[in-house]
Amino acid sequence: MKPKNESVRRQIIDAATELIIEYGVAGTSTVKVAKRINGAQSNIYSYFKSKEELISGVFLYHQSMMINAIEPVFDTTKSPQDLVADLVTELLLFADNHPASIQIISAFRAQPNLRSQLPTIADNQLLTEMFKLITRYQRDGIINQTPAEFIAEAIFSIVVNYSNAKLANESYAPKLTKEMVIQLITDFTFI
Amino acid sequence: MKPKNESVRRQIIDAATELIIEYGVAGTSTVKVAKRINGAQSNIYSYFKSKEELISGVFLYHQSMMINAIEPVFDTTKSPQDLVADLVTELLLFADNHPASIQIISAFRAQPNLRSQLPTIADNQLLTEMFKLITRYQRDGIINQTPAEFIAEAIFSIVVNYSNAKLANESYAPKLTKEMVIQLITDFTFI
């Protein structure tokens, strides 16, 4: 096996990202990725042992980017309302700056048959802490009693809708402000 | 051209539906559809003139099914709260009974580059009436002032999340009731 190189690894992830957005997970292959970066398929296998590993590598890359974007505002000494508003603000800014990451994460979440291959909340420290906090807020009667995972999915879906409306240049997109989206999310999150 | 036959047309739509769910829109072709129904590609062209026509035919088929499911409860003499709760109840029942339709509609909506090919609200009478009503409720200050299309997208996404949680057998799915989902939607729809 050739020695690994971070910039090649990144090239592979970028090419796979484009392919998944264009052709979906099923329509993406290591052959197509190799073709797009003018490399050999065998070279890809020195970074990712299989298509499955490549696909989950792409998901993890974009999920980490998103988590890194919201981590700095995750401060549990804030009021629950301020904390949720700050987290959603960062998510919307992230969606503006990294629409491909939002599309990748939502493409994976949208396919029930892929979900079992994805990392779970327990695999990530920040997500674990966030879910603990949601559960505590629910016990305290501050937020909606719907399962915490469903509330998190709902928040993420609204962010995806915001991102898609901007990307698709929907006629209502110019009237849609971040403040409106935050308000809508706050309305269903808090009791 | 051969004479058209409703049951063949339906077979083509069903095969294309399965393929889109498995391989995405980009990964679906008239060749693959023909193979799946053991027919000739030329036969498909007597029902749909191009891949584009087939794809939008599949979308319209599932969208009509969904619209037919909610139409009976769309009665504008009800209170806004009852009307929204009844519409969402029908959508959730539809999601239970026709998960493939929900997956198809959401797969199309999730791809910003496909949106311009989809029928608009103005192409459907019920959707046009629903949007008029949302606009009236907004003018009356009853519901959220976010663009009506964004509220409709939000409602649909929450229904999709409900459907995906059940399909993927998420650990929280058994605790997730229709009443919780209706409550969550009502919380952000009404002021």
Give the three-class secondary structure for B92: helix
Contacts of B157 in chain A (CB under 8 A): 154, 157-158, 160-161
| Domain A1-49 CATH assignment equals 1.10.1500.10 | no
Contacts of A185 in chain B (CB under 8 A): 188
Q: Do B154 and A161 touch (CB under 8 A)?
A: yes
For residue B178, the model assigns a pLDDT of 96
SS3 annotation, chain B: CCCCCHHHHHHHHHHHHHHHHHHCCCCCCHHHHHHHCCCCHHHHHCCCCCHHHHHHHHHHHHHHHHHHHHHHHCCCCCCHHHHHHHHHHHHHHHHHHCHHHHHHHHHHHCCHHHHCCCCCHHHCHHHHHHHHHHHHHHHCCCECCCCHHHHHHHHHHHHHHHHHHHHCCCCCHHHCCHHHHHHHHHHHHEC
Whole-Å CA distances, A141 to A134, A136, A189, A190: 10, 9, 11, 9
For residue B24, the model assigns a pLDDT of 84
For residue B3, the model assigns a pLDDT of 57
**Listed residue (B127, B133, B149) closest to A169, CA to CA:** B149
Which tens digit of pLDDT belongs to each residue from B108-152?
887 777 777 777 777 888 888 988 898 899 999 998 889 999 999
State whether residue A122 sits within 8 Å of chain B by CB: no
Q: Do A185 and B188 touch (CB under 8 A)?
A: yes
Whole-Å CA distances, A42 to A1, A49, A50: 9, 10, 11
For residue A123, the model assigns a pLDDT of 82
CA dist B163 and A157 (Å) reads 13
pTM here is 0.90
CA dist A100 and A163 (Å) reads 10
Nearest residue of B to residue A185 by CA position? B188
The total number of residues written for chain A in this structure: 191
Q: What is the pLDDT along chain B (191 residues), one digit of tens a residue?
A: 455 788 899 999 999 999 998 888 888 899 999 999 988 888 889 999 999 899 999 999 999 999 999 999 999 899 999 999 999 999 999 999 999 999 999 888 877 777 777 777 778 888 889 888 988 999 999 988 899 999 999 999 999 999 999 988 889 999 999 999 999 999 999 98
CA dist B32 and B28 (Å) reads 7
Contacts of B32 in chain A (CB under 8 A): none
**Listed residue (A9, A25, A2) closest to A110, CA to CA:** A25
Contact (Cβ atoms closer than 8 angstroms) between residue A109 and residue A22? no
Grade residue A14 by pLDDT with cuts at 50, 70 and 90.
very high
**Listed residue (B131, B138, B50, B117) closest to B87, CA to CA:** B131
Partner B, chain A 127-146, Cβ-Cβ below 8 Å: 144-146
Contacts of B162 in chain A (CB under 8 A): 150
CB atoms within 10 A of CB B2: 9
Q: Which two tokens stand for residue A113?
A: 């048959």
Nearest-CB residue to B175 (from A27, A147, A187): A147
Percent of chain A residues past pLDDT 90, beyond the cut: 63
More confidently predicted of B188 and A118: B188
Nearest-CB residue to A147 (from B112, B176, B187): B176
Which tens digit of pLDDT belongs to each residue from A51-75?
989 999 999 999 999 999 999 999 9
Contacts of B149 in chain A (CB under 8 A): 165, 170-172
Q: Do A23 and B22 touch (CB under 8 A)?
A: no
Nearest residue of A to residue B191 by CA position? A187
Q: Which amino acid is at B22?
A: E
Contacts of A162 in chain B (CB under 8 A): 150
CA dist B8 and B40 (Å) reads 12
For residue A3, the model assigns a pLDDT of 57
CA dist A175 and B135 (Å) reads 15
Nearest-CB residue to B168 (from A24, A115, A150): A115
Alpha carbon B135 to its chain centroid, in Å, reads 21
State whether residue B150 sits within 8 Å of chain A by CB: yes
Domain map of chain B by residue range?
A: 1-49, 56-189
Helix extents (H) in B51-117? 51-70, 80-97, 99-109, 112-115
